[in-house]
């Protein structure tokens, strides 16, 4: 289990409360206040670059992979993530704490920018006035979009039911809190209203224009549409989801717009030789979080210390497709595959399926760009919307476009509604594995697809008494972290059920 390393933004820092007033109210010579820090549009932009640097999805990816049925205990495992693999989830869990903290850190940083934009007064007579005004507008727009994104990330993992506006959501971060503030959870409806206000702002013509030239490692109008599509799908508002999903794509789904159509191009997505299919991604150069370190000690290979490998049922799902299916790249070439895996004596060491979703980059074998949102997800959301509307033929055509682009096999000619939901869930399982989707996908789509719970291979899970977890289990919602509860007395009575 990971250790909590920082206090939460909405938690009182006990040590500070015991400091003497004359010790903490001293203004030091040369101290850089916000009034001094934010004087130009470029100052705002530099602060925004730091916000991007703090956006994270690694904890979500790591937690999802071990808690569901993506990863298994590897042959080099010395106890890493055994609690999560055994479905042991408490308010003290490190992942639950870090997901809460990282998103509120982004929210807090965005609010610091938004609360200080008025300090930046532009000279209308300056030759650079229009450029400065555009940059200032761009930063404000980006800050509001990332604030909305982080609120939705929190809702996704800490709300029991995103389809219920009256259910408890999370704390709305609409300002930089003081140490003495005690803030409660708002309802889902209240948080979604706040999110939508930020996204509505971003889609105003002037604001949308300010981010139109951004690349896929920055907020773009396409990302705003894609985020709204995901939000609507998770809320079960499928007509809205369909509209935004189609708007987020660079062309018609009938032609496979936005999807690559070769093994080389697909492999390049994961080796970071290009940005194909990426709507929004996070750069991870040297010195930043190493995504591969969630499963390997040294390199993503058999000899690189795999303390987690791919769950055999996920492997079987991938291998159920033709050998031409490009998703086979997720299985590492150094894997040790036992032809007698069901009966081999030393299963842990003789059947090691290497996770190759993140193959690393030259000189940085555990580093890869984090793909927060890709075009293919919009296809899946469209297929969900069509299925929900009873258009099973349309849903099949949409999903088949993805399978064709992935050089996979065709779907059956006719499918019932439940079979269509299952086909979507299965396709998401393969395509989006190790991207942080499976935990939420099981929760929101499992019942519709006739899936009862996690799907682990018995020889992976039996030694740890961890083969079954129903999708109705309370642990498909994360607990409010204990350190938030300790410092925020208002929220103590608002812990999620079961914890």
Any idea where the domains of the chain sit in the sequence?
Answer: 1-26+44-213+480-494, 258-290+318-352+359-451
Return mean pLDDT, the chain. Answer: 93
Q: What is the pLDDT of residues 412-459, one digit of tens each?
A: 999 999 999 999 999 999 999 999 999 999 999 999 999 999 999 999
pTM: 0.93
113, 48 contact by CB (below 8 A): yes
pLDDT of 397 higher than 80: yes
Q: Residue 261 corresponds to which tokens in the numbers above?
A: 């159509």
- Would you tell me which CATH number, out of the four given (3.10.350.10, 3.30.300.10, 1.25.40.390, 3.40.50.300), belongs to the domain 1-26+44-213+480-494? 1.25.40.390
pLDDT attached to residue 18:
35
376, 364 contact by CB (below 8 A): no
pLDDT of 21 higher than 90: no
When pLDDT is averaged across residues 347-369 and rounded to a whole number, the result is 97
Residue 217's nearest CA partner among 13, 371, 12, 40 is: 371
478, 96 contact by CB (below 8 A): yes
Q: Is 38 left (phi over 0), alpha (psi -120 to 50) or beta?
A: beta
pLDDT attached to residue 38:
85
Q: Which residues pair with 82 in a beta bridge?
A: none
For the four alpha carbons of 15, 17, 18 and 22, in that order, the dihedral sign comes to positive
Q: Residue 194 corresponds to which tokens in the numbers above?
A: 């706040």
pLDDT of 9 higher than 50: no
322, 409 contact by CB (below 8 A): yes
- If one counts every other C-beta atom within 10 angstroms of the C-beta of residue 235, the result is 19
pLDDT attached to residue 95:
98
pLDDT of 5 higher than 50: no
pLDDT of 11 higher than 70: no
When pLDDT is averaged across residues 270-297 and rounded to a whole number, the result is 94
232, 250 contact by CB (below 8 A): no
Maximum C-alpha span of the chain: 79
pLDDT of 92 higher than 80: yes
Question: Which single residue is written with the structure tokens 């809702």?
Answer: 155
Q: Residue 146 corresponds to which tokens in the numbers above?
A: 């990332």
pLDDT attached to residue 13:
34
pLDDT attached to residue 82:
97
With pLDDT > 70 as the criterion, what percentage of the chain qualifies? 93
């Amino acid at each position: 289990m990971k250790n909590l390393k920082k206090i939460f933004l909405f938690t009182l820092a006990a040590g500070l409360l015991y400091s003497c007033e004359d010790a903490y109210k001293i203004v030091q010579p040369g101290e850089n206040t916000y009034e001094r820090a934010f004087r130009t549009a470029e100052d705002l932009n530099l602060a925004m670059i730091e916000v991007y640097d703090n956006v994270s999805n690694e904890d979500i990816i790591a937690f999802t992979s071990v808690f569901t049925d993506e990863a298994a205990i590897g042959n080099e495992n010395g106890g890493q993530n055994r609690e999560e693999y055994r479905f042991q989830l408490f308010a003290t869990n490190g992942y639950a704490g870090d997901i809460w903290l990282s998103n509120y850190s982004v929210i807090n940083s965005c609010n610091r920018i938004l609360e200080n934009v008025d300090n930046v007064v532009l000279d209308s007579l300056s030759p650079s006035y229009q450029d400065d005004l555009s940059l200032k507008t761009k930063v404000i727009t980006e800050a509001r979009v990332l604030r909305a994104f982080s609120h939705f990330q929190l809702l996704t993992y800490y709300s029991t039911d995103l389809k219920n506006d009256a259910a408890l959501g999370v704390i709305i971060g609409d300002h930089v809190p003081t140490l003495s503030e005690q803030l409660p959870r708002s309802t889902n409806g209240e948080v979604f209203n706040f999110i939508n206000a930020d996204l509505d702002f971003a889609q105003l013509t002037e604001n949308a224009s300010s981010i139109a030239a951004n690349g896929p490692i920055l907020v773009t109008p396409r990302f705003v549409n894609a985020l709204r599509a995901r939000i609507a799908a998770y809320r079960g508002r499928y007509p809205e989801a369909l509209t935004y999903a189609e708007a987020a794509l660079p062309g018609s789904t009938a032609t496979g717009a936005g999807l690559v159509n070769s093994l080389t191009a697909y492999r390049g997505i994961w080796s970071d030789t290009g940005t194909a299919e990426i709507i929004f991604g996070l750069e991870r150069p040297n010195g930043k979080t190493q995504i591969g370190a969630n499963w390997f000690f040294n390199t993503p290979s058999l000899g690189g210390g795999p303390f987690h490998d791919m769950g055999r049922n996920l492997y079987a799902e991938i291998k159920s497709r033709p050998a031409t299916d490009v998703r086979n790249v997720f299985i590492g070439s150094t894997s040790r595959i036992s032809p007698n895996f069901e009966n081999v004596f030393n299963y842990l060491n003789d059947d090691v399926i290497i996770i190759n979703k993140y193959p690393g980059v030259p000189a940085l074998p555990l580093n890869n760009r984090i793909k927060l949102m890709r075009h293919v997800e919009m296809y899946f959301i469209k297929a969900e919307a069509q299925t929900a509307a009873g258009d099973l033929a349309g849903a099949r055509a949409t999903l088949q476009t993805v399978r064709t682009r992935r050089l996979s096999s065709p779907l059956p000619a006719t499918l019932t509604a439940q079979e269509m939901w299952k086909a979507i869930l299965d396709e998401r399982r393969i395509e989006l594995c190790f991207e942080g989707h499976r935990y939420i996908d099981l929760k929101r789509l499992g019942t519709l697809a006739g899936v009862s719970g996690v799907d682990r291979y018995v020889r992976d899970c039996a030694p740890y008494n961890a083969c079954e977890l129903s999708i109705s289990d309370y642990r498909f919602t994360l607990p409010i972290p204990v350190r938030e509860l300790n410092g925020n007395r208002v929220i103590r009575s608002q812990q999620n059920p079961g914890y």
